[in-house]
Amino acid sequence: MRTVIHDLNAEGLAALGLPEEDTVIFHADGRYAPCRGCFQCWLKNAGFCVMKDSLRHMGALIGQSDPLIIVSRCCYGGYSSKVKAVLDRAIGTSLPFFTWRGGQTHHIGRYPQRRLLRVCFYGDCTALERQIAKELAERNRLNLGYEKAEVRFFQNPAQLGGHIV
């Protein structure tokens, strides 16, 4: 199942031309609570958040998504605050235990490894912001359990059409 997490307005989303079959589209609209760091998604609820809003099942959704596609305005080399809040609530994709991978300590994944994380940034980005964004996507790939991360940059959302799937 393909999942698209985006911060676009309705016009921007329509321009993407996403297939409806086997695609979950989540609009990061900011109408949800931020992660409160209670760790219940790790310790009691096996990947599900205790807060009863639209992000309650985000960890499980991301854990079953292949590919996971993130579309975000580039903000200082990172995601927009609304997209970041969605990803913060997906901590349940991992377990509270550690492993050694690539010479670093990381959490163990709750779900089997998936193939592709694709991140599409739009908006003005400096060369440094692009480098930071690529590093961020690579860290997210590793922590969310994907084999490969692709990062693409676009000047504006209108250019995204046909490039994200």
| Predicted confidence (pLDDT) per residue in 52-111, tens digit | 999 999 999 999 999 999 999 999 999 999 999 999 999 989 998 998 877 888 889 999
- What is the predicted pLDDT for the residue at 158? 83
pTM value is 0.93
Which one is predicted more confidently, 78 or 37? 78
Asked if 50 contacts 43 with a C-beta cutoff of 8 angstroms, the reply is no
pLDDT > 70 fraction of the chain, expressed in percent and rounded: 99
161 versus 75: which is more confidently predicted?
75
Count the Cβ atoms, other than its own, within 10 Å of residue 75.
Answer: 17
How many other β-carbons are positioned within 10 Å of the β-carbon of residue 103? 5
Q: Which of 96, 99, 137, 93 is nearest to 112 (CA)?
A: 93
